[in-house]
Amino acid sequence: MQTATQLATITCPHCGTAKQEQMPVDQCVFFYECVGCHQVLRPKAGDCCVFCSYGSSPCPPSQQQHDGALGHSPC
């Protein structure tokens, strides 16, 4: 099993601002306020968190589930 990536760049779909953030390894982030336009991002339907929806890589729980199990939305 690979080590989960813990950094991701979140890109705001409203204004395009991108910021690198540390992803928690033991929880999902449901809300994220964009530093550019201050819109509050929420996960897209079917995604477990904002990193899975707007990040450059999915959250660590999703990465671990993808490596070893079937299904989605581990958080």
CB 8 within 8 A of CB 20: yes
Handedness of CA 8, 34, 19, 24 (dihedral sign): negative
- The CA distance from 1 to 55, in Å, is 22
Classify the phi-psi angles of 35: left when phi > 0, otherwise alpha if psi is within -120 to 50, otherwise beta: alpha
Residue range 7-57, pLDDT digits in tens: 999 999 999 999 999 999 888 899 999 999 999 999 999 999 999 999 999
0.85 exceeded by pTM: no
